[in-house]
Amino acid sequence: MQRRTLFAVAAVMVAFLLICGCTGTTSDPVSTGTEKQQLRIATTTSLDDTKLLNHLSTIFEKQYNAEVLVVSAGTGKALEYGQRGDVDVLMVHDRAREDTFIADGYGINRRVFAYNYFILVGPESDPAGIKGMEPTKAFAALREKGMAGEPGVTFVSRGDASGTHSKEQAIWKKAGLNYSTDVQGSGDWYLEAGKGMGATLAMANEKQAYTLSDIGTYLAYKGDLDLVTLVDEGDILLNVYCAMQINPEKYPDINSTIAKDWVNFMISDDVQKEIASFGVDKYGQPLFYAAQNDWAKIGVTEAEVTDPIK
Amino acid sequence: MIECIDVSKRFGDTAVLAGVTARIEAGEIFAVIGPSGAGKSTLLRLIDLLDAPTGGAIRVNGTDIHREPKRGLLIRRMMGMVFQKPAVFNTTVYENIAVGLRFRGVGEAAIQKKVEDVLGMVGLAGYGERRARTLSGGEMQRVALARAMVIDPDVLLMDEPTANLDPVSVALIEDLVLRINRDLGTTIVFSTHDMYQGQRLAHRIGVLMKGVFAQVGTPREVFTLPASRDVARFVGVENIIEGVVVAGENGASVVDAGGIPVRARSPFEVGEAVSLCIRSEDIRIAPADGGAAAPGRNTLSGTVAAVVPRGPFSRVTVDCGFMLSSVLSWKAADSLGIGEGSRVVVSFAPESVHVVRQG
Amino acid sequence: MYEIIEGFIEAARLIVTFDPDVMAIAARSIIVSFTATIIATLIAVPFGAVINFGTFPGRKSLINLIQTLYSLPTVIVGLLIFLLISRVGPFGFLRLLFTPTAMIIAQTVLILPIMTGLTISALSGVDPVIRDTLYSLGATRLQFLVNIMKEARFAILTAVAVGFGRAISEVGAAILVGGNIMASSFASSTRTLTTAISLETSMGNIPTSIALGIILLAIALGVNLAITRMQHR
């Protein structure tokens, strides 16, 4: 008798859970009758971690009666998903690898929709003494102190072939260092997280270490962090976000119409305004800048910023 | 009904049955007795098609059952089997008994009636809704018997059905076996290592030793005229003495047993090596000064070597050149004043000596 | 310490108020793992029966292999299924990657060995006399199998419960083939209890992680309780 009661209670609980779960998120009307189009996006983590993508996809879903499925991964993994044809659109921030990807015929119709800057963050005490330095000098100093075993000098790298990781490697290179021999695995001061931007910031915070972050994710997480911005000036810190379609000639059954809609949506005037104002109310400054009027400043063509895909 | 023709069965290198031949008639109770490991279970399993013989054939109503794969199920469904270990399915008593009927597609109403009838027969009326696993071993074995009987089998096979049970349950099962055979005419083949059970229940007994039937006959034949020294030993003949026939004609022989002449009835030729089987009940013990020996009896004098209590009797062993045991009531033993070392006279009739060829 | 206490208070609030996101994730976890368990049961039980009662060369080795696969790492299963159903993989045309279906497939594959193995143990654990009795009562091959399974039902249910427990608590395969997607519709999302805990914790969203963890723990404990009860019958 007692057992039956227990099972009955459990059954009711499970049923309730299912009902709540099912109705909880399907509040938007599905009664349009037509099958919703699904758009699969592989994105760099910073766009997802800052909730920008969440904000924009909600608008997009309403306008286009579509459903946006976001797989958040580093740029490297996102490119891999794109190359395998597992998604329709890529949103990444690594010009060099994007170029290769397009040249190899996997990506088409790249449009730049936003930019911001990378920043070097670290503990307020700044044991390496790099505050205000020029980026390459700051990196060189970090390595030197780290190799010398200066207490408290630790650098957490994304270590996940993401756009941010790519940028970090570029800075090491510009500082005259060979990444794979001089930096990677050179000592306990250099750690590879293998995680997204948000998780890497959380890890650097735990260890009171230095790390390279895009400013958007840093601002979005700033409330939970004790890390401060130490280096934020220098052309090399520029961070440019693009959206591109996966080539339908490679994968004919890819959802190219809705993919095109998404890319065009990202460079539309309304969305550019949304990007420019996103987060201002919460963080007192924008997380991203709209690319629309700054194409010359960030070194891309006007067409790449304003021309809709036909 | 069932014919076993030179049936053999090997498991790997071990020959369990080595040429079993016997004929079981319809309507009889046939006991397979023999020591543990003699192959009794194997023989029953072969009859029930649970195993295939290595050689030979088993015929049921003329059909070689192991060479009719298509009719295997039909043949098996003619038979019911009860195993040594009381095993019931983990469900109610009713469902346990109904299983065989369900296999045969019997309707629910008919099942209900038959199960109730058979429960009544085995004395478990009203037990239908009990969970079978909660019953005692004896009750479980009666459920197993009911389960086998509910399908009205032509043949009921029982493999040591009472080996694990208490004496009261044994008596219940034995009574059921007799009633089933008498009332329903079911042919019953059962195995047992208890020779007295074989004697109590069976019309005929097959003594299975070392993979063959050493003897097949009525209980009386098997107990009084064992076919060999081994059978004699198994059916409880206590006195077995080796000897050589030294004289004989017209079925009356004289056997030299270690220098002592013993008169016996036997058909054997002079010079033949034989074993003398004498039941202890047939041996009489008298005081050494007990007067003249009865004419015609073998009369030997000797010394009491041991007096061992056995139930309400005493087993008295006398050394008279060879050892002979007899059974006396306590009272008789007391009145004779027998103790270890007493001089006594032992006598037995030549007719009480059963002579078998040695080996 | 403060963080943990605060986390638990917030977690309690999320559970008591039936926070829609948290409930959706919990419900999805149950649905995905339950479906995988049902499919795995439909495969593992007959397969286990064939292996247990069959006589074929290599039977012993097959059982050994199955037992080895008990400890199949979840990420290996995830990787394998990812390669098979990715667009360029042999089953890419089905477009299953990053769907709940993909997670169901991965979890099914993951728990098949242990469920098959436990089914074999369950069936071989049935008293040989029961087997002989069924045959002697005139069972056909099918009647025999059905009744043996009835006899082993509690042990087989244990296998099912173990399979469900392993499915719902794994994270490696779910994140690789599911992608941890939180879409606007319930059916397109692939965020489950484990992948969400992994993500939320790494992003410092501790209260949600704790709430999800409590629910996962409750489910796992419930399953364990069910197993224990069954074994005592």
How many folded domains does chain A comprise? Answer: 2
**Residue A181 DSSP class:** I
The residue type of A281 is D
In this structure, what token pair is assigned to residue B198?
A: 């074989």
Instruction: Give pLDDT tens digits for A66-75.
Output: 999 999 988 9
To which H or E segment does residue B39 belong?
none
> Which parts of chain B have pLDDT scores under 50?
none
Whether residues B76 and C138 touch (CB distance < 8 A) is answered with yes
Residue numbers in B near C127 (CB within 8 A):
85, 87
| Cα separation, A231 vs A225, whole angstroms | 17
**Residue C128 DSSP class:** H
Helices (H), chain B: 40-47, 72-76, 93-103, 108-121, 137-149, 167-184, 195-201, 219-224, 229-234, 330-336
Chains that touch B (3 or more CB pairs under 8 A): C
Instruction: Give pLDDT tens digits for A20-52.
Output: 444 433 333 333 445 788 999 999 988 998 999
Residues A289 and A233 in one domain: no
Q: Is residue A185 part of a domain?
A: yes
Residue numbers in A near C222 (CB within 8 A):
10
Burial of residue A123, with CB atoms counted within 10 A of its CB: 0-12 exposed, 13-18 middle, 19 or more buried: buried
Residues A150 and A101 in one domain: no
| Cα separation, C90 vs C107, whole angstroms | 19
* pLDDT above 60 for A14: no
Would you put residue B149 in left (φ > 0), alpha (ψ -120 to 50) or beta? alpha
Q: At C118, which CATH number?
A: 1.10.3720.10
Of B77, B85, B87, the CB nearest to C138: B77
Q: Does residue A105 belong to the interface with chain C, where contact is any CB pair within 8 Å?
A: no
Q: Does residue B45 belong to the interface with chain C, where contact is any CB pair within 8 Å?
A: yes
Instruction: Give pLDDT tens digits for B294-315.
Output: 777 888 889 999 988 888 888 9
What rounded mean pLDDT belongs to chain B? Answer: 91
pLDDT at site A270: 95
Average pLDDT over residues A181-191: 91
> CB-based contacts of C26: which residues, under 8 Å, 6+ apart?
A17, A21, C193, C212, C215, C219
Cβ atoms C31, C107 nearer than 8 A: no
Q: Is residue A221 part of a domain?
A: yes
**Residue C92 DSSP class:** G
Q: At A175, which CATH number?
A: 3.40.190.10
Average pLDDT over residues C202-231: 85
Which range of residues forms the domain containing residue C204?
Answer: 2-231
Cβ atoms C119, C75 nearer than 8 A: no
Cβ density class C163-185: b for 16+ within 10 Å, e for less: bbbbbbbbbbbbbbbbbbbbbbe
Q: Is residue A17 part of a domain?
A: no
* pLDDT above 60 for A18: no
pLDDT at site A33: 45
Residue numbers in A near C180 (CB within 8 A):
71-72
Residue numbers in A near C86 (CB within 8 A):
84-86
* pLDDT above 60 for A9: no
* pLDDT above 50 for A1: no
pLDDT at site B331: 84
- How many other C-beta atoms lie within 10 A of the C-beta of residue B63? 14
* pLDDT above 80 for C3: no
Cβ density class B8-44: b for 16+ within 10 Å, e for less: bbeeeeebbbbebebebeeeebbbbbbeeebbbbbbb
| Cα separation, B87 vs C131, whole angstroms | 10
Residues 287-326 of B with CB under 8 A from C: none
DSSP string computed for B234-273: HTT--EEEEEEEEEEETTEEEEEETTEEEEEE--PPTT-E
- How many other C-beta atoms lie within 10 A of the C-beta of residue B261? 13
Which residue carries 């992003």 as its tokens?
A: C203
Residue numbers in C near A253 (CB within 8 A):
93, 95
Q: Is residue A3 part of a domain?
A: no
Residues A128 and A229 in one domain: yes
| CA contacts within 13 A on the Cβ side of A28 | 14
Percentage, residues of chain A above pLDDT 70 = 89
The residue type of A215 is I
Task: Please say whether the dihedral angle defined by the alpha carbons of residues A22, A23, A26 and A32, taken in this order, is positive or negative.
Answer: positive
Higher pLDDT, A2 or B103: B103
Chain C residues within 8 A (CB-CB) of chain A?
A: 18, 20-21, 23-28, 30-31, 86-89, 92-93, 95, 97-98, 179-186, 188-189, 202-204, 222, 229
**Residue A236 DSSP class:** G
Could you write out the three-class secondary structure of C144-166? HHHHHHHHCHHHHHHHHHHHHHH
Instruction: Give pLDDT tens digits for A105-120.
Output: 999 999 999 999 999 9
For residue C81, give the nearest of C196, C193, C178 by alpha carbon. C178
Q: Is residue A10 part of a domain?
A: no
Q: Does residue A207 belong to the interface with chain C, where contact is any CB pair within 8 Å?
A: no
pLDDT at site C204: 75
Write phi, then psi, for B333 (nearest 5 degrees). Answer: -60, -45
Which range of residues forms the domain containing residue A302?
Answer: 37-114+240-306
Residues 17-36 of A with CB under 8 A from C: 17-18, 20-26, 28, 30, 36
Residues A186 and A127 in one domain: yes
Domain termination site, one of A214, A237, A260: A237
| CA contacts within 13 A on the Cβ side of C7 | 17
pLDDT at site A111: 96
> CB-based contacts of B150: which residues, under 8 Å, 6+ apart?
B97, B98, B100, B101, B114, B115, B118
Whether residues C202 and A202 touch (CB distance < 8 A) is answered with yes
| Cα separation, B186 vs B152, whole angstroms | 8
Residues A266 and A288 in one domain: yes
pLDDT at site B359: 67
Residues A191 and A245 in one domain: no
pLDDT at site B153: 95
In this structure, what token pair is assigned to residue A107?
A: 């990506």
Dihedral angle computed from the Cα positions of residues A277, A278, A280 and A282, in that order, rounded to the nearest 10 degrees:
160
Residues A254 and A287 in one domain: yes
Helices (H), B281-344: 330-336
Chosen from A4, A5, A13, A17 to mutate, greatest number of chain C CBs within 10 A: A17
Q: Return the percent helix, strand and coil in chain A, to nearest 5.
A: 45, 20, 35
Alpha carbon distances (Å) from A235 to A114, C13, C60: 16, 47, 67
Cβ atoms C95, C128 nearer than 8 A: no
Residues A232 and A250 in one domain: no
How many folded domains does chain C comprise? Answer: 1
pLDDT at site A195: 87
Chain A CA closest to residue C20: A24
Whether residues C132 and B76 touch (CB distance < 8 A) is answered with no
Residues A141 and A208 in one domain: yes
Cβ density class B202-229: b for 16+ within 10 Å, e for less: bebbbbbbebbbbbbbebeebbbbbbbb
* pLDDT above 80 for A243: yes
To which H or E segment does residue C208 belong?
helix C206-231
Q: Does residue C129 belong to the interface with chain B, where contact is any CB pair within 8 Å?
A: yes
| Cα separation, C47 vs C35, whole angstroms | 18
Residues A123 and A232 in one domain: yes
Q: Contacts by A254-259 with C-beta closer than 8 Å and gap 24+?
A: A254/A85, A254/A88, A255/A37, A255/A38, A255/A39, A255/A40, A255/A88, A256/A88, A257/A37, A258/A37, A258/A38, A258/A39, A258/A64, A258/A66, A258/A88, A259/A39, A259/A88, A259/A89
Residues A100 and A143 in one domain: no
The residue type of B116 is E
| Cα separation, C224 vs A65, whole angstroms | 44
Q: Does residue C43 belong to the interface with chain B, where contact is any CB pair within 8 Å?
A: no
What rounded mean pLDDT belongs to chain A? Answer: 88
The residue type of A24 is G
Q: How many angstroms away from the CA of B240 is the closest CA of chain C?
A: 40
Residues 51-110 of C with CB under 8 A from B: none
Residue count of chain B, please give it. 359
In this structure, what token pair is assigned to residue B94?
A: 């009713």
Residues A139 and A163 in one domain: yes
Examine chains C and B and say if they touch (3+ CB pairs below 8 A).
yes
Which residue carries 């071993």 as its tokens?
A: B137
Whether residues B81 and C134 touch (CB distance < 8 A) is answered with no
Instruction: Give pLDDT tens digits for C84-116.
Output: 999 889 998 888 999 999 999 999 999 999 999
Q: Is residue A25 part of a domain?
A: no
| Cα separation, C202 vs A126, whole angstroms | 25
> CB-based contacts of A35: which residues, under 8 Å, 6+ apart?
none
Domain termination site, one of A237, A259, A282: A237
| Domains of chain B (ranges, CATH numbers) | 2-232 (3.40.50.300), 237-289+296-357 (2.40.50.100)
| Cα separation, A255 vs C57, whole angstroms | 49
The residue type of C50 is V
Chain C CA closest to residue B81: C136
Whether residues C30 and A199 touch (CB distance < 8 A) is answered with no
Q: How many angstroms away from the CA of A17 is the closest CA of chain C?
A: 6
Longest alpha-carbon distance in chain A = 77
Residue numbers in C near B100 (CB within 8 A):
137-138
